[in-house]
Structure formats: structure tokens, C-alpha cells
Amino acid sequence: MILPVGVILAGGQATRMGGGDKGLLPLGGGTILSHVIDRLVPQVAGLALNANGDPDRFAAYGLPVLPDSIADFPGPLAGVLAGLDWAADQGADTLVTVAADTPFFPRDLVARLMATGQDMRHPLVLAATPRPDNERTKSLSQSGLIRHPTFGLWPVALRDDLRAALQGGLRKVVLWTDQHDGRETLFDGPNDPFFNVNTPEDLQQAQAMQKDTA
């Protein structure tokens, strides 16, 4: 199995945390980002970070830092595009993305995404979880699953199509993946595998979760 390369998406503005980089917040003996890196490195053939602004703030992690190539913070698809362009430079056919504020994502994420896309000409797969009965979401798929647009397998062959879509004003991930018959991989379990840190309260919860898994 040829592993994809990976990109950690850290291009958001973290408004609910008061701005700054959520990935650099402390968690356990490191940071949220260090936990994300530790989980993703064994699953990919190479790794980079998508972030805007001064790249030196991530120098301690020793990763290439890829800024968005589309201006004005157009959302995670711009980070995906930056990652696809980098993946093409690495000679890779596929890219996996994860979010920089989600420290407990599955350790078999990449293998399961690739299994779902193995018979696709252009593997395009998003991670998904079951929808709680009382929750409504704009990321709901036709199969009734909640899609997690920052956790996906993306084909390098479609990077110019994505670039054109972004330049045309497209911002919603699932609109683009649906156009290309994207699939979902279901991740289920007692806890939310894609729990992310958006607020100070979430950070406290993550610190408690990290102690439980240490």
C-alpha cells in the first residue's frame, strides 16, 4: 500500500478562542499540535502544516509550512488546495488532511479512508460519524452521516478543478466533494473521535481526556 502524504490544517482564525493558534495551546506534556503530529506521522509518507502568517512560530515542529494560495481566509478548502499542490511537488497521488485542533482522531484514519476509496479513479473520501437524533447539521450526507470536512482523502489529480472552484467563489467543502461523487468512511464509538478544541471549556475537556488516554 502506497501511503498518501499528510497536511495538518491550521489556517483558521480561532475566533472562539480569542484568536491565535489553537494547535499551540498546551495539552499534556506538549501542545495540541504535537499530539496531532504524533498521531498522523505513522500513517503518512510525509507531513506538512497549512497555516497563514509568520511560519516561524511553528519552527519547533520542523515541518514545511504551506500558506493558503487563495486570499481572505476562504476556509479549509484553501488549505486542502495548498496541500494538494505540495503533494504534487512530492510526487504523491493522494493527500490526507486533518485538523490542528483535534488531538484524538483515529490512529487508523488513513487506512480506513484509503479502503473506502480503493476502487475510485480519483479517491475522494471524507470521515463521518453517526448523526445524533437531536442534531441537525449542514454537513449531513444523503446517508444521514455527519461529515467532517477537514478529515479527508483527496486526489492530486483534481487540484486544478478545486483551484477553479475556489476562484469561482466556492467555499463549502461538501458541495465540491458531492460534485465529484465523494464517499464517506464511518467512524463510530462511545466517544467523539473528532472532538475538537474550539473554546476554553473544550480545552479543559481535552486535558481531562488526555489524562484518561495517557
- Per-residue pLDDT tens for 34-53? 999 999 999 999 999 999 99
Rounded to 5 degrees, φ, ψ at 205 are -65, -40
Provide the whole-model pTM.
0.91
Tens digits of residue pLDDT in 106-121: 999 999 999 999 999 9
Contact predicate 125/185, CB 8 Å: yes
Residue 58 has pLDDT above 50, yes or no: yes
Cβ atoms within 10 Å, residue 191: 10
Classified as helix, coil or strand, 196 is coil
Cell numbers representing residue 118 in the block: 480503493
How many degrees, rounded to 5, is the angle at CA 52 between CA 51 and CA 58?
Answer: 55
Contact predicate 190/159, CB 8 Å: no
Categorize the per-residue pLDDT at 211 as very low, low, confident or very high, splitting at 50, 70 and 90.
confident
Cell numbers representing residue 146 in the block: 455527519
Residue 11 has pLDDT above 80, yes or no: no
User: What does pLDDT average to over the chain?
Assistant: 90
Domain that holds residue 77: 5-213
> Can you say whether residue 31 is alpha, beta or left, with left for phi > 0 and alpha for psi between -120 and 50 degrees?
beta
pLDDT higher at 18 or 9: 9
- What does DSSP assign to residue 188? -
- Predicted pLDDT of residue 202: 94
- Predicted pLDDT of residue 15: 42
Least confident of 19-28, 135-144, 181-190: 135-144
Cβ atoms within 10 Å, residue 32: 26
Residue 146 has pLDDT above 60, yes or no: yes
Count the domains in the chain.
1
CATH number at residue 97: 3.90.550.10
